[in-house]
Amino acid sequence: MGGRLELRNPLDIIAGMPYLVGEPPDPGLVVIAARGTGVHAAFCGALDGEHRHLTPLQRARPPVDLAVAEGCSGLLIVAYGPPGRVTPYVDALMLAARERGVSVIDALRVTGGRYWSYTCVSPSCCPPEGTVIDVDGSPVPAGAVLRGIAPARPPRAASADLDRVRALLAPVDGSERAAVGAVAAAFEARMRSLPDDARVARGTDEVRAAVGGGGTPGREDTARLGVHLGHLRVRDRAWAAITAGTAPRHRDLWAHLVRHLPDRWRAAPAALTAVAAWQQGDDVLAMAAVETALAADPGYSMAVLLGRALAWGLPVERWRDRAPKD
């Protein structure tokens, strides 16, 4: 069996959340993108998670941009949490939607068993004290049962899993990291004497050889690869080479560099580790790798972009489209 659920009003939208996204984040936001007369996609963003350092507008743009790219014409916004916590994010989503020419069908806030609308000003249907949420008064749950539609499982990372994966990216103990750093510094000094195109060509060749060669690089190769990835053109070529088929090798290789390189060279391999992990559906490792990249370089743009995408659960296919073309 199967079919579509009809979401006719705010209560139906709230009652339909378990079938769209599972348990909504609280505090957090759900953005439902509509195309034609149906729901095309739904994105969740927790506000107390790993991406709370992002501003409201930084959080707002990725789902709106994706909705536009997918040809969606309208958004439904549902915020969960107290007004002081969620309203700035709702305002940012509505602003981003206006900037991109996407209509906001409705914007709701759910707090303490009641809901409020940001778009309705009539006290007859949207009283100041909010409207009690009576899910039993909506036909959506019963309709889902009749159609054989089960609640969705939200892509949540357990804190224990995140702690475990963080440990996999932790710096190695002892003096090895310092020794790798010394080799990297000396190699970087030698590379500065080469013309830029020659540096890129050499770096690209050595990175491709490392990816294709298998095995774990030794101290010298680890240092050299770290320096090469510091050049954005070399890093971008490595990024473009990460596919579903090559992701396991990239993940293992770049995670090794993350563990053995000093902070000065960690951001690039950490960001590449995140891309490879995401290609494999390992959002926990991807989030931990983004954290690692931003800890090494808080403004590292590749990690910032990836962090925003992960914060909303955007599909990896859209990230593949953004990969640099060689």
Name the residue ranges covered by the structural domains of the chain: 10-146, 159-322
Look up residue 231 and give its amino acid. Answer: H
Q: Is the pLDDT of residue 200 over 90?
A: yes
Q: Which residue has the higher pLDDT, 324 or 192?
A: 192
Low-confidence winner among 9-23, 65-79, 230-244 (lowest mean pLDDT): 9-23
Mean pLDDT computed over 130-138: 87
At residue 22, the pLDDT reads 80
Q: Is the pLDDT of residue 181 over 80?
A: yes
Cα dihedral 4, 9, 13, 15 in deg (nearest 10): -90
State pLDDT tens for residues 249-306: 999 999 999 999 999 999 999 999 999 998 888 888 988 899 899 999 988 989 888 8
At residue 70, the pLDDT reads 81
CA angle, residues 286, 310, 236, in degrees to nearest 5:
65
Q: What is the pTM of this model?
A: 0.66
At residue 245, the pLDDT reads 92
Percent of the chain past pLDDT 70, that is, above it, reads 88
Low-confidence winner among 158-162, 180-184, 290-294 (lowest mean pLDDT): 158-162
CA angle, residues 213, 216, 221, in degrees to nearest 5:
80
Q: Is the pLDDT of residue 222 over 90?
A: yes
At residue 317, the pLDDT reads 59
Q: Is the pLDDT of residue 4 over 80?
A: no
Mean pLDDT computed over 11-25: 83
Q: Are strands 114-117 and 74-80 parallel, antiparallel or unpaired?
A: unpaired
To which residue do tokens 């009641």 refer? 114
- Binned at pLDDT 50, 70 and 90, residue 1 comes out as very low
Compute the mean pLDDT over every residue in the chain, rounded to the nearest whole number: 86
Q: Is the pLDDT of residue 318 over 70?
A: no
Mean pLDDT computed over 77-96: 95
Q: Is the pLDDT of residue 15 over 60?
A: yes
Q: Which residue has the higher pLDDT, 4 or 86?
A: 86
187-196 burial, b if ≥16 CB within 10 A, otherwise e? bbeebeeeee
Q: Which residue has the higher pLDDT, 16 or 104?
A: 104
At residue 13, the pLDDT reads 86
One-character DSSP codes across 268-305: HHHHHHHHHHHHTT-HHHHHHHHHHHHHH-TT-HHHHH
Alpha helices in the chain (DSSP H): 10-15, 17-20, 56-69, 83-100, 140-146, 159-168, 176-191, 196-213, 219-229, 232-240, 247-260, 267-279, 283-296, 301-312, 316-322
Burial tier of 71 (Cβ tally within 10 Å: 0-12, 13-18, 19+): exposed
For 10-146, CATH number? Answer: 3.40.140
